[in-house]
Structure 1
Amino acid sequence: MSRRTVAAPAAVRARLRTAFGSRLRTGVRWKISAAIALVGALVAIALSLVVHNAARVSMLDNARDVQDERILYAQRIYETSGRTSQFGMKIDDPTMPKELLTKVLAGRRATYVEDHEGGVPDIWAAVPLSDGHILSLHTRFTDRSTTVMRDLDQALVIGSISVVFGGCALGVLIGGQLSRRLRKAATAAQEVARGQTDVSVRDAIGGVVRDETDDLARSVDAMADALKQRLEAERRVTADIAHELRTPVTGLLTAAELLPPGRPTELVRDRAQAMRTLVEDVLEVARLDSAAERAELQDLMLGEFVTRRVAVLNSEVSVTVVHESEVTTDPRRLERILGNLLANAAKHGKPPVEVSVEGRVVRVRDHGPGFPAGLLAEGPSRFRTGSTDRAGVGHGLGLTIAAGQARVLGARLTFRNVAPAGAGPDDPAEGAVAVLWLPEHAPTNTGSYPMLQLPDKYK
């Protein structure tokens, strides 16, 4: 057997899991409903079988008692008058079941139920006579009893179906309540993950009844509080270290200015300046992480502003204004975002670098190898410069600061790669694009967002 033949079933199973994995996924509501319906169906079937068998046994016992009374009466008639014309009496009937014949030959009066394929049994009764013969009689199970059993079975089927549908409805109600609570908890947890520190999962799910969902919510809140305290402690430590480094780095830079001219002096000055830039960037990241930054808003024409600032930051970058728009934003922070995006494109990409403005959207594109997969999946991270195919220079805070400043502006900063036409998922990109989406309603100076004033007809 070839290796390809052996690997084929595994590949088929993987494709099936990929194709049907998401389709077979169901919510808690339907799982609980299905479980209750299944249990209800099993209980209903079990009870139906028990009731059916108990009712049949009871009716057969009553029929055998009636047949036993008939055989006694028939015996008295035969022994007094010799007649066999009543109740279908027979003497030494050859069709008598062997089990009944065995009991009668033992000298006992007996009854017997003989089942048939049609489902309606015969009720036999026999008694030994004093002259050595056997008197027997048999009748079919009464039509009335058969009708009663048929009606009983119909009622049991209807009752079982009602139990199943009732269980489904009950499962939908119970599962729906649990599902809603879990969805509220998941939504609140996502808000906490996005940095909403004032969100409580326990308060979000609400409700009077306490269950395991509340335990989960309290655990998530406790974990979020612990993470918040740890991140806050790390932020303070980072800010304190950077603040303490500012003074000696400034002194080092000042001392480097006093060194005599020469190549060693230039190297010292360059490294001292790089260290000072790093310290300032770390302090800026710490301020952005503290969520204490507020935008100082001004009205400006976005296309004109971007054209002027890009010309100052990098004169080799071309700017295209597709559609001009007036925005309310913080020009200093917007310039900081543009500067970091252009610096990132210059360090890690390849020329030409192009900037386009379309309404409230600003795009910065280079023609390098593209952003690394980790940045596209998780966003920018401090002190991560990307993969080696993007040169790996710098300290990795530029895009982190740009994303933080965008949050202060209420904007959204996204990253994507430009793939060549007809390229596959594993083919290299032919450029990276950072897109800044400025909001239609900018945040106020206090960090809040203005309320939309609706016309009277919508109030």
Structure 2
Amino acid sequence: MRGHFRRLVATGLERAGIRTGLRWKLSAAIALVGALVAVALSLVVHNAARVSMLDNARDLADERIMIAQRNFELSGRMNFPNTKIDDPNLPAALRDRVEAGQRATYVADRPGDVPDIWAAVPLKNGHVMSLHSGFTDRSSDILQDLDQALIIGSIAVVLGGSALGVLIGGHLSRRLRKAAVAAHQLAGGETDVRVRDAMGGVVRDETDDLASAVDAMADTLRQRIEAERRVTADIAHELRTPVTGLLTAAELLPPGRPTELVLDRAKAMRTLVEDVLEVARLDGASERAELQDIMLGEFVARRVAAKDPDVEVRIVHESEVTTDPRRLERVLFNLLANAARHGKPPIEVTVEGRVIRVRDHGPGFPEDLLAEGPSRFRTGSKDRAGHGHGLGLTIAAGQARVMGARLTFRNVRTPGTPEHLPAEGAVAVLWLPEHAPTNTGSYPMLPGSGT
């Protein structure tokens, strides 16, 4: 029954959109258990005290009826208070036992929870002498005081249990929250983070086992990723020499269409090998930015004009930034190449402060790229298909990370456009940092070594 009630409460909270923390769940559970235990103990103590008082009252009534019997048999007179001969109000059950020749006591409940105490004894002349008394006021007061003390104690137990639950739950919740933050940092690529160390604490419990398991899993994944990166880099490095030789040999072939096809494929293979090597270096987290102060709008306008004069560059707000010009150019060219390959003209570049936007008017980025970010060897959906190996945006994101910048992607939609209709363009946004990324080990370039 209680389990069904808890499920109903949890379902109601979920439907209402209420997210309860661990500390409050533990507090509520401890308070509920404490309340049940306090109520049960209060009932047991109350009943035990009441039964004990009634037994004492019955013993007292029995002693008094014996004294009254002796006085009556010696003097022949009724001189003891609250005693009667053949009382018509005598309970039938007590009368039957006395008529059977037994001295007995009896407790009769009446409205108000104040019991009547009866005692009766058979006389030699065949009559029945009985004594009728009620529960004493003093006993009633003692029982009421006991009930009040039990109520106060129960409330104290519930409040104390709730406070204890908040403390225990808060401690456990803080540890789990720290573990979650560390796990998110691991997922974000901070490989030196250890969940167990982030949690801290002296006492070892199940959360430490969970943290150790997460650290072990992260170490295993890190080792596998590093092994895959090394294999990829080694393969690309070994392919560089034969591909260079193939390109050199193709250039020696006699002019003609077959030679052009061979040269085109050989150059594409060399580009692929160089891109794979660059991705491997970026994944290895060993790259460092060479910082230099530049005027961002002027830099972007000159580089884009040299790359593709047909691309429109709009400088909304000029800004001086400290960044790596070579890597910034690499990111910019990769975004332009992706827009030209997968999107549709016109392609627009906008510089606003420290933000660079590259927009095309094609069908937009695929949903998996918007949700997960760039991924190597994924060229996009069939609606945004084209030639390439899916490494351009991956390299752009990696180079942005080295510069301390952030690269985001979104599609352009007119407000109210249904989701099943294609987008009206794709926008890649490069957010350069306000301060130079010195925490990545980057270093400034010497004066005069500009672009």
Normalising by structure 1, we get a TM-score of 0.91
Residue aligned with 1:75, SS: helix
Say whether 1:184 aligns with 2:178. Answer: yes
Residue aligned with 2:160, SS: helix
The residue that corresponds to 2:260 in the other structure is 266
* Range with greater deviation from structure 2 (424-433 or 127-136): 424-433
User: Contact 1:441–1:449 at 8 Å: present in 2 too?
Assistant: no
Superposition deviation, residue 148 in structure 1: 0.9
User: Contact 1:238–1:282 at 8 Å: present in 2 too?
Assistant: yes
Query: Which residue of 147, 152, 159 corresponds with 1:158?
Result: 152
Change (3 A) 1:257 1:445: farther
The residue that corresponds to 1:379 in the other structure is 373
* Range with greater deviation from structure 2 (17-26 or 433-442): 17-26
The residue that corresponds to 1:4 in the other structure is none
Superposition deviation, residue 82 in structure 1: 3.2
Query: Which residue of 32, 36, 55 corresponds with 2:30?
Result: 36
Q: Distance in 1 between matches of 2:76 and 2:258?
A: 143
Counterpart AA for 1:233: A
Say whether 1:121 aligns with 2:128. Answer: no
Q: Distance in 2 between matches of 1:191 and 1:368?
A: 35
Change (3 A) 1:156 1:446: closer
User: Contact 2:288–2:442 at 8 Å: present in 1 too?
Assistant: no
Residue aligned with 2:20, SS: coil
Say whether 1:83 aligns with 2:49. Answer: no
Aligned length: 435
Counterpart AA for 1:71: I
Change (3 A) 1:407 1:156: same
User: Contact 1:297–1:445 at 8 Å: present in 2 too?
Assistant: no
Superposition deviation, residue 98 in structure 1: 2.2
User: Contact 2:288–2:443 at 8 Å: present in 1 too?
Assistant: no
Query: Which residue of 166, 189, 203 corresponds with 1:195?
Result: 189
* Range with greater deviation from structure 2 (323-332 or 82-91): 82-91
Change (3 A) 1:179 1:216: same
Superposition deviation, residue 211 in structure 1: 1.3
Normalising by structure 2, we get a TM-score of 0.92
The residue that corresponds to 2:283 in the other structure is 289
The residue that corresponds to 2:204 in the other structure is 210
User: Contact 2:196–2:208 at 8 Å: present in 1 too?
Assistant: yes
Q: Distance in 2 between matches of 1:345 and 1:105?
A: 112
* Range with greater deviation from structure 2 (136-145 or 251-260): 251-260
* Range with greater deviation from structure 2 (232-241 or 125-134): 125-134
Percent of pairs with identical residues: 77
Counterpart AA for 1:201: V
Superposition deviation, residue 304 in structure 1: 0.6
Superposition deviation, residue 426 in structure 1: 4.3
Say whether 1:340 aligns with 2:331. Answer: no
Q: Distance in 1 between matches of 2:16 and 2:254?
A: 69
Q: Distance in 1 between matches of 2:420 and 2:45?
A: 66
Q: Distance in 1 between matches of 2:58 and 2:87?
A: 19
The residue that corresponds to 2:393 in the other structure is 399
Query: Which residue of 356, 370, 373 corresponds with 1:362?
Result: 356
Q: Distance in 2 between matches of 1:18 and 1:262?
A: 76
Superposition deviation, residue 392 in structure 1: 4.5
Superposition deviation, residue 233 in structure 1: 0.5
Superposition deviation, residue 62 in structure 1: 0.5
User: Contact 1:363–1:436 at 8 Å: present in 2 too?
Assistant: yes
Residue aligned with 1:297, SS: strand
User: Contact 2:316–2:352 at 8 Å: present in 1 too?
Assistant: yes
Residue aligned with 1:195, SS: coil
The residue that corresponds to 1:60 in the other structure is 54
Q: Distance in 2 between matches of 1:146 and 1:353?
A: 93
Q: Distance in 2 between matches of 1:84 and 1:399?
A: 114
Q: Distance in 1 between matches of 2:12 and 2:118?
A: 65
Say whether 1:168 aligns with 2:167. Answer: no
The residue that corresponds to 1:222 in the other structure is 216
Superposition deviation, residue 202 in structure 1: 1.6
Name stretches of at least 5 consecutive residues in structure 1 with no aligned partner. 1-15, 451-459
Superposition deviation, residue 245 in structure 1: 0.8
Counterpart AA for 2:240: R
Superposition deviation, residue 445 in structure 1: 9.4
Q: Distance in 1 between matches of 2:119 and 2:242?
A: 117
Counterpart AA for 2:56: N
* Range with greater deviation from structure 2 (432-441 or 247-256): 247-256
The residue that corresponds to 1:453 in the other structure is none
Change (3 A) 1:98 1:386: farther
User: Contact 1:30–1:172 at 8 Å: present in 2 too?
Assistant: yes
Superposition deviation, residue 41 in structure 1: 1.2
User: Contact 1:285–1:401 at 8 Å: present in 2 too?
Assistant: yes
Summarize deviations over 1:38-61 as a string: whole Å, max 9, x none: 221111111111111111111111
Q: Distance in 2 between matches of 1:22 and 1:387?
A: 38
* Range with greater deviation from structure 2 (284-293 or 130-139): 130-139
Q: Distance in 2 between matches of 1:448 and 1:56?
A: 82
Superposition deviation, residue 127 in structure 1: 1.1
Q: Distance in 2 between matches of 1:19 and 1:348?
A: 47
Superposition deviation, residue 448 in structure 1: 5.5
The residue that corresponds to 2:88 in the other structure is 94
Summarize deviations over 1:47-87 as a string: whole Å, max 9, x none: 11111111111111101011111111111222223333532
The residue that corresponds to 1:12 in the other structure is none
User: Contact 1:442–1:449 at 8 Å: present in 2 too?
Assistant: no
Q: Distance in 1 between matches of 2:301 and 2:167?
A: 59
Counterpart AA for 1:235: R
Q: Distance in 2 between matches of 1:368 and 1:117?
A: 88
